[in-house]
Amino acid sequence: MQTDPQTEHAWLQQLVGEWTYEGECLMGPGQPNASFRGRETVRAVGGLWVVGDGEGEMPGGGTAMTMITLGFDVKSGRFVGTWIGSMSSHLWVYDGALDDSGRVLTLTAEGPAFTGQGMATYQDISEIVGPDERRFNARVRGADGEWTHFMWSTYRRVG
């Protein structure tokens, strides 16, 4: 059951490498945004998947370790993946697509609501700015159906 790499798999390969990132996130009503920074190493698993291992500062203190897997499911025609972090017991399962420009990948997942009760829909949005820079934005859909951006960062290739 051999899968030949598609254009979408090639898109993922541009993520492979060593990256540093800096970003900010919302901390809550009436609180200033928190800054964070870290590193991520993304490696290829064959020509079909990428795996990213991250380590960085947690907003408010401490160190976070993260792992992301991303691929493209030829049968469904969708990007798929998972995300785990040392700060959460939830396994985030992604489903996503590229926009028409071919530069922005939007991944949707269900996860624990910020209120602590129930689940919410989240989107992780990655934009390729150039071969050595990418931007990341995270947003959550509220009960009113509106999206709220709560985290953003810029990744720069090392070396």
Question: Tens digit of pLDDT per residue, the chain (159 long)?
Answer: 789 999 999 999 999 999 999 999 998 889 999 999 999 999 999 999 999 999 999 887 899 999 999 999 999 999 999 999 999 999 999 999 999 999 999 999 999 998 889 999 999 999 999 999 999 999 999 989 999 999 999 999 998
Question: What CATH number does residue 72 fall under?
Answer: 2.40.128.20
How far is Cα 128 from Cα 134, in angstroms, rounded to an integer? 5
pLDDT given at position 89: 96
pTM over 0.85: yes
Domain range for 99? 7-20+35-157
- The structural domain count of the chain equals 1
- Tell me if 72 is assigned to some domain: yes
- Tell me if 26 is assigned to some domain: no
